Amino acid sequence: MVEKWLVGGDIGGTTIKMAFINQNGEIISKWEIPTNINDGGKYIPVDIAKSIEQTLSKLGQEKQKLIGMGIGAPGPVNLRNGSIDVAVNLGWKNFPLRDLLEIETSLPVIVDNDANIAAIGEMWKGAGEGTKDLLCVTLGTGVGGGIIANGQIVHGINGAGGEIGHITSLIEGGAPCNCGKTGCIETIASATGIVRLMIEELSSTPTPSKLRDFHIQHQTLSSELVFKLANEGDELANKVIRKVTLYLGLALANLADGLNPEKIIIGGGVSKAGDALLVPLKEQFTRFAFPRVSQGLELAIATLGNDAGIIGGAWLVKRRLLNRYENIPLHL
């Protein structure tokens, strides 16, 4: 019996991550191509198709080896036709991504939001393995999210389900968010938000801090540095981390009260802080969540890193097959 492969993809603003993945979720081969945003991003589908052909020939394989492709894209996805309404980074507007990819690759294609497929990836092979009800939050430049209920992505009516980053945390006096509102959790718990809060803290008090010296000298700060100095006992850095985990813990507790998930998985660059983030976050979460929701719920750091999206994309193809062939073995 010949094993067939799934294709996973994850389109980002600077690179497109791609992989051939077997039906056990193991990566056979992965690669990246630069995202060509020229002419409104119109070359992206053909670039993806070419890179698939090239990798197949490098591996000495034919197109028949592939079953289909699942791919993530930034921005809400129109689930009826797999098109992307707007992706500012890529220059797309009403871009028929699924149709173009199907034409260029001759494969069946499933398109979903990038944060959603990362959540699915963590459910299949990462920190959420074995669970069907989970929340995933990605703390990066922004705050992304994916909600999975009973093994299914919660898309909502407009494909904007899981936009955890735009939960309002400050009803007054919050910083402006990219979405047009103010006070979203993204303005507080993203890497950018943490740095902004730190700079605000430094300018509002004369309390000594190594971070102030660093900021004066280099005119820059990072969330990693804030966590590092908080660990070393810096008073102002600890104050900022307490604020970040207070609002994030509150937002996640309110969300969890509505969903009663088994796990909450925290990913993205900020999650590299590990326990320095997780321990105070758990404390705040437990403080605000309904006790029955807290019981048995596990807060964990994501384990797949940048591979979550490609693995999640592959899972979408596999699930479509499972739906189609219910009890027929997948080794077709």
Which residues contact Zn ion by CB under 5 A? 166, 177, 179, 181, 184
Smallest gap from Cβ 251 to Zn ion, in A, equals 12
Q: Which is nearer to Zn ion, 59 or 179 (CB)?
A: 179
**Nearest-CA neighbor of 66 among 304, 272, 318?**
318
Which is nearest to 129 in space by CA: 225, 238, 25? Answer: 25
CA distance 146 to 135: 6
Least distance CB 252 / Zn ion (angstroms):
16
**Least Å distance between CB 284 and Zn ion?**
21
* Nearest partner of 318 among 156, 75, 151, judged by Cα: 151
- CB of residue 163 to Zn ion, shortest distance in Å: 8
Nearer to Zn ion, 170 or 276 (CB): 170
Token match 């479509």: residue? Answer: 320
Q: Is 41 or 165 the residue whose CB approaches Zn ion more closely?
A: 165
Shortest distance (Å) from residue 171 CB to Zn ion:
13
Question: Residue 77's beta-bridge partner residues?
Answer: 84
Quick one: 177 or 240, whose CB is closer to Zn ion? 177
Rg (CA), the chain: 21
Long-range contacts of 163-169 (CB under 8 A, 24+ apart): 164/135, 164/137, 164/251, 164/255, 165/190, 167/251, 167/254, 167/255, 169/247, 169/250, 169/251
User: 248 or 304: whose CB is closer to Zn ion?
Assistant: 248
**DSSP state for residue 306 in the 8-state scheme:** G
**For residues 183 and 309, which CB has a smaller minimum distance to Zn ion in the complex?**
183
Minimum distance of Zn ion from residue 179's CB (angstroms): 3
